[in-house]
Structure 1
Amino acid sequence: MQPDSDNGIPTLYAWAGGGAAFEHLTDVFYRRVLADDVLRPVFAHMHEDHPRFVAMWLAEVFGGPSAYTEQRGGYPHMLSKHLGRAITEPQRRRWLDLMMDAADEAGLPADPEFRAAFVGYLEWGTRLAVSNSQPDAEPPRAAPVPHWGWGVAPPYTPS
């Protein structure tokens, strides 16, 4: 595998198999979501391209191209899709469980180092989504797309 970072270590994006791997992951995931009693109502009216948009987000987070930022508006756009949705802990947990099952089915790398970083981001991101989605939430409206690496949570200092 060719490194695709400045330090010679492959990004999580490259390790996972690039954009095609994340697109396959989200296709598998949203098939599961639409068959799930807990999440189907949340996503029943999603845009047909929603899985592709989520793949773009995940690809950028894990070190791939900045397509989500360039084409979709980055963090502010993603945040706008969650505001006021009042995501519950059972919904968050089901989302996480289905994503992990989809990662297995889609053939994402199963090595402990990759999965630890992958799950670390999913835990962090879904917990923020729950918090940011509550009716009284006032999250930062402008922040960068997080860039997740091998076992390191990205620091964030509000400006």
Structure 2
Amino acid sequence: MVPSLHEWLGGTERLEQLTTLFYKKVLSDPLLEPVFRHMAPEHARHVAHFIGEVFGGPKLYTGTDGGSHAGMVAHHLDKHLDETKRRRWMSLLLESADEIGLPDDPEFRSALLGYLEWGSRIAVLNSNAVENPIQSDAPMPVWGWGEPGGPYTGG
């Protein structure tokens, strides 16, 4: 039985550790801080739960947190992100993954990087939109070890 990405990285607690460290870095970063200055105190936990669910973990984001894929996209609308901010976001998140010791095997890091590239590029596209391109009943994205079919793209 192949473990999910969520299991492989160490579960929900590890993702919460990752996003907590990451958002501390974001709030200290002159480029990204203005974008995240007013984020809710539970933002890091919600992002951890979103990623965890996408990576095959428990449905904490859509269940416990009451979130949805469309809701996550809605948070990015009209934020006017750009490639410079996206790259900084990626850099800080990957730096945080290294600092907390997420697995560094090539297969996991390839899957993680693939998801982060996909998701961050979609966030930039959606941040320059004013209407949500995702229907309210759209399923959550699903990401795995690179099996055929790839992620659900929401379109």
Structure 1 length normalisation: TM-score? 0.89
1:150 maps to 145
- Secondary structure of the equivalent of 1:52? helix
* Cα deviation digits, residues 2-41 of structure 1 (max 9, x gap): xxxxxx1000000000001100000110111111111011
Q: Is the 8 A contact 1:62 1:149 kept in 2?
A: yes
Give the alignment partner of residue 40 of structure 2, picking from 19, 24, 47. Answer: 47
Matches of 1:21 and 1:102, distance apart in 2: 11
Moved over 3 A (4+): 135-138, 155-158
| Distance verdict in 2 for CA 1:157–1:105, change over 3 Å | closer
Query: What value does the CA root-mean-square deviation take over the aligned residues?
Result: 1.5
Once the two structures are TM-superposed, the CA of residue 157 in structure 1 deviates from its matched residue by 6.8
| Distance verdict in 2 for CA 1:140–1:120, change over 3 Å | same
Question: For structure 1, which runs of at least 5 residues remain unmatched after alignment?
Answer: 1-7
Query: How many residue pairs end up in the alignment?
Result: 151
Question: For structure 2, which runs of at least 5 residues remain unmatched after alignment?
Answer: none
Matches of 1:128 and 1:72, distance apart in 2: 22
Q: Is the 8 A contact 2:74 2:132 kept in 1?
A: no
1:61 maps to 54
Matches of 2:113 and 2:126, distance apart in 1: 19
1:73 maps to 67
**Residue 89, structure 1, aligned to residue 83, structure 2:** yes
Matches within 5 A, 1:13-28: 13-28=6-21
Matches of 1:95 and 1:55, distance apart in 2: 15
Q: Is the 8 A contact 2:69 2:134 kept in 1?
A: no
- Secondary structure of the equivalent of 2:142? coil
| Distance verdict in 2 for CA 1:95–1:157, change over 3 Å | closer
Task: Out of 84-93 and 123-132, give the one that drifted further.
Answer: 84-93
Matches of 1:157 and 1:84, distance apart in 2: 19
